[in-house]
Chains A and B, each alone.
Chain A
Amino acid sequence: MDLVLQLLFTGIGIGAVYALVALGFVLIFRATNVVNFAQGEFSMVAAYLMVVFAVDLGWPYWLSFLIALGGMALLGVIFNLGVYYPLRHRSFLPVIIATIGASILLANSVLAIYGPQPQVLQGWFETPGIQLGPVYLDSQYLLIIAVTIALVIFNYWFFEHTLLGKKLQATSQDKEMASLLGISVSTMIMITFIYSAVLGGLAGILVAPVLFVSIQMGSTIALKAFAATIIGGFGDVAGAIIGGLALGVIETFGAAYISVPYKDGFAFLVLIAFLVFRPQGIFGERVAEKA
């Protein structure tokens, strides 16, 4: 039982990481119908920004954090203008390829500037964790889980109860209709890119103390997060969160009870099963109509 609890905590912790990145996927997908293969690199870039400011320059953690998120907002703008916007009238395929190009560009630019050495970024808390009975709770994972919950609530409030959120919703559901209502579609898409770059960055900064800061940190997580997105039902915020958590738990238990080396395979097996038997995901009737 102790074992199960410990695995469950770890699974939820790692799942929350997937969920955070998946959230960024979903927002962009809903607004533009595009899968952003560079989402993982957003996380990586933000983590490196933290290393630059908090570690190398020794600035206060909170200030570095704000600067890093600001940097991500800027990256969101550049990404939209440079990668998505020029291709917005083309089919999904060229856009996918362009985002793949962007991911190669971002990863290797950081490599060129910062070198290949993995870096250490300390966490928010001094204490590494709490022993709760038989279960050890890593403080950084606790923080990640808390932030994920907070973001779910924030997203709900933002999209359902603010004008900007509703405008964004309208844009993602029907662009023509939204523009007829006087909503500037390109502004809304710009905001979406900024928001999802910031979200991706947040995920990267949160996960960096656990997984260290490396060039590859984003791509591994992103692929899983993508799987989580589909399991949750593409285009559904709650689905992405649940999908991410489910994937983390399945993976951890699969590793513990079936096979460690094939750990990464479980995510994809679950995914294929979902795609074959329930392509609309856990939630999401809507997606089927969109497809």
Chain B
Amino acid sequence: MAAPAPVIRSKPLIVRHLPYFVAAAILVALAAGMQFDGYVLNILMQATTFSIAVFGLSVVLGLCGQINLAQAAFFGFGAYAVGLGTADLHMSYWLCLLAGCLAALVAGAFLGMSTLRLGGHYLAMVTISFQQIVTLVMINAIWLTHGPDGVSNIGRPALFSTSQGYLAFCVAVLAIVGYIVWHLPDTKLGRAMRAVRDNELAAGVNGIDVFRTKIYAFGICAVLGGLAGGLFAGGFAYISPDQFSFADSIVFLTMSLLGGVASPIGSAIGTGLLILIPEWLRFLKSVPGLYLAIYGLFVILIIRFMPDGIWGFVANIFERWRAKTQAPAAVKPLLLKPAMVGGDIVLEVRGLSKHFGGLKAVDGVDIAVRRGGVHALIGPNGSGKTTTLNVLSGLYKATSGSIMLDGTDITNMPPHQRTAAGLGRTFQNIRLFRSMTALENVEIGAERRGNTMVGQGGDAALTERAMEALTFVGLGHRANELITSFSYGHQRLIEIARALAGNPTLLLLDEPAAGLNSTEKLELHELLKRIAAQGLTILIIDHDMTLVSEAAQHITVLNFGRRIADGESMAVLRHPDVVSAYLGSE
């Protein structure tokens, strides 16, 4: 046996990232000490503050996959808070900056809430509308915002009253925010965001509160926008509504995409370039419109040829040179300790119905799954099996009936709460988080709220647990590979490992044998035996009669949304109704 848990990072984070802080400190010192003329200073000030706003976009868009075309509005919230606060109310700069961030946060969370029902183009349109309304208010609410005149004589903190001092302060903020955004993907929240981006459905059934994660992403994005706006207002001492228009939101978005949406480094690169390129192209100014036309052309070309942005392009080249990270060494065997709160019946479904309009996909079904066994749910195509499973895991809302999991009524819970209550599941068409490694996928499973096997849920414990689960399904040695490099059968195993890592009370397997070859099916069967041996209850849906008849002790049969048979495996399979309804139609 190898030494346990070499996965745990050897040096504290702060020490490993010392070079970053040293470089940041040098930049801050340069900003404070070097002699810039006004032009360079203004460019740097703009680039620094804009970068922070673009970091916000890299969180909401890059990490969480949600579009935000209103970043300039959030930027404006911060700017106006600082502008109006210091110029009109003569309040402390710091207080104003804080107020601006809070205002942006509230607005961002509000916008995030609209994601409850909307995605894609709709979300784009909501954010555009929000942006337009904010602009109209800035222009027309003259009593508050001074209207189109804008706000002048904006103050700065006494500590950074010189332009260069203030720039140094902004660079310092940029460095800190950059550090946080850089590490966000490796935190629990960051993983949740990536999971939501990769596969919203799977994120939900793995215990991630999708809705709240999106609100957090929007909130963070908005706060960074507000912070950047506050810094901007102090830097330029004058703001007016036309600096926070829809066009500026588009500029922010383009900056983010140009540099590479997924990383703060990309954001900084994109911001810098989009501030500098129009400046450089000014020599084309003899023909009005020409340089903006070229700018537009560049946007198209970059999207076409550098889909991951400039940084993504560069990072890909580095990736090829860098040696593959070694998989962490083997670990302790996986321990499954399913909770035992309720009685003998782990899952009790009573009178469950799911109607789509007039179609009764599931109609008054009762299921009782005994603790510790393998229970199978079978039926011909269209019999309502998968609908039942989706109602059980919360993807559909039940029309009527009740679902009790280990003594808890989960009928009306959203997916992530069912997961917290002890439900784990896999999907017929595999739903893994495709931009992540196998280990990261399983870590998200291990993060299940209520998982008693990971102590306080620290990073090290999660990684250890995830490694155990991966080793359990036989893929521990490939933990650090991206999902896309695994075969179909192995992806299925990873999905099972992801569910197991959370130490569920009940494991739902949706056609686990679908698409597997005969060797893989055999392996799957062995795996199920090993899982069942540790006392975890399994509810399995499958077409594969060999697997079902050998693995399951108990079978429920559905046809046309109704239960037609239920009982001990062999008896049910010989039941004449089942033979005619199910096997007859095979």
Contact = CB atoms under 8 A, between A and B. Distances in A.
A258 interface: no
B296 A108 contact: yes
B33 interface: no
A279 B118 contact: yes
A173 B197 CA distance: 25
A97 B289 contact: no
Nearest to A103: B296
B16 interface: no
Given A90-B307, A101-B300, A271 B125 contact: yes
B62 to A, nearest CB: 11
Given A87-B303, A97-B254, A104 B124 contact: no
B299 interface: yes
A180 to B, nearest CB: 20
A277 to B, nearest CB: 9
A102 B250 CA distance: 13
Interface string A253-291: 000000001101100110110011001000000000001
Counting chain A residues whose Cβ lies within 8 A of the other chain, the interface size class is 35 or more
Interface string B265-309: 000000000000000000000011111110111111001100100
Given A100-B254, A101-B299, A261 B139 contact: yes
A271 B118 CA distance: 13
B297 A105 contact: yes
A268 B300 contact: no
A53 B118 CA distance: 45
B303 A275 contact: no
Contacts of B124: 35, 96
Contacts of A108: 289-293, 295-296
What secondary structure prevails in chain A residues at the interface with B?
helix
Contact of A112 (B139, B287, B298): B287
Interface stretch (B44-52, B128-136, B186-194, B206-214): B128-136
Contacts of B307: 90, 94
Contacts of A35: 121, 124
A110 interface: yes
Counting chain B residues whose Cβ lies within 8 A of the other chain, the interface size class is 35 or more
B300 A98 contact: yes
A261 B140 contact: yes
A268 B292 contact: no
A128 interface: no
A110 B129 CA distance: 27
B114 A276 contact: yes
A186 B290 CA distance: 32
Contacts of A110: 289
A115 B288 CA distance: 7
A112 B293 contact: yes
Contact of A101 (B114, B120, B122, B298): B298
A279 B291 CA distance: 39
A104 B296 contact: yes
Contacts of A230: 121-122, 125
A82 interface: yes
Nearest to B291: A108
Interface in A95-127: 96-98, 100-112, 115-116
A223 B128 contact: yes
Interface of B: 61, 67, 114, 117-122, 124-126, 128-130, 132-133, 136, 139-140, 246, 250, 253-254, 257, 287-293, 295-300, 303-304, 307
**Top-7 shortest CB links A-B:** A111-B289, A101-B299, A105-B296, A104-B296, A268-B129, A108-B293, A112-B289
9 contacts: A100-B299, A101-B298, A108-B293, A108-B295, A112-B287, A116-B288, A268-B128, A271-B129, A275-B122
Given A111-B292, A116-B289, A230-B122, 10 more contacts: A35-B121, A90-B307, A94-B307, A101-B299, A108-B296, A111-B288, A215-B289, A264-B136, A291-B118, A291-B122
